[in-house]
Amino acid sequence: MQKDIATPIRTKEILNKYGFSFKKSLGQNFLIDPNILRNITEVAGLTKHSGAIEIGPGIGALTEHLARTSKKVLAFEIDGRLLPILEDTLSPYTNVEILHQDVLKANLKTVIAEKFAGIEDLMVVANLPYYVTTPIIMKLLEEQLPLRGIVAMLQKEVADRIAAKPGTKEYGSLSIAIQYYTIPETAMIVPKTVFMPQPNVDSAVIRLIKRPQPAVQVINEEFFFDIIRKSFAQRRKTILNNLSNGFGKDQKEFILDALHKTDIDPKRRGETLTIEEFGKLSDSLWTLFNPN
């Protein structure tokens, strides 16, 4: 078998060979522990019938593990300096394709239809750049792509917020947005020592398995997410105060009415409400604001 890219010695050799320097602005931290990469591919549950989409392959450390365990790998790389390196490091693998493109600007539905025709099981598996973790995950979920799920390495603090339960300090609009579409589970904690260069914080690998249907059915999805944003605008304020500030003080009676109809105490804070309670509250307010 091909020698792993993700060892400290091999990584240094590759970087020196190409005179590569890390760009802080792109959040580049390369993994140098093959065991963690093996664990990530295991968490993703890939088989020889699966397709894998990677975002930010770096020098190909995770990519090669995906190539060994899946049918096809498509990786989005924004940094043109890495393309010749990837061509070199991944030359033994015929089932890998690199796209020099910003995934946030890509038309993913079209790309998937073209590149993964005939592949039923598709996962996104990525060591995500910290500075764009949330926009990337939300794009993958909101565009209703034919994915089984996402396995992502991200900042531990962000993973904690994604998997948080109501009533905890980590629970907020991000938790609800991602739990609306998926069932999250933190698979492992990854220490900062296994990266080059070392980031300032520890990471976590989170698995997001897509729900067949959203966690709650609501009348208007956009309005539902607007209610959530407004409810968390100032964490220390009550749900009544936050929503009154968000919609305007003149709407306070409507808001009180909706809270009573859904058995939600106006003195509660947003962080104590479950996703189901937000769904009921959203529908109740929508009906009051749009009576026809």
Q: Is 127 annotated as a binding residue?
A: yes
What is the amino acid identity at position 106? A
Q: Which of 146, 90, 87, 76 is nearest to 117 (CA)?
A: 146
Q: Is 56 annotated as a binding residue?
A: yes
Q: Partners of 149 in the beta sheet? A: 123, 209
DSSP conformational letter for 229: H
Q: Is 102 annotated as a binding residue?
A: yes
d(CA 251, CA 157): 36
Q: Is 88 annotated as a binding residue?
A: no
From the number of C-beta atoms within 10 Å of its C-beta (0-12, 13-18, 19+), residue 182 rates as buried
DSSP conformational letter for 81: G
From the number of C-beta atoms within 10 Å of its C-beta (0-12, 13-18, 19+), residue 283 rates as buried
Which residues participate in the annotated binding site?
Answer: 29, 31, 56, 77, 102, 127
Binding residues for S-adenosyl-L-methionine: 29, 31, 56, 77, 102, 127
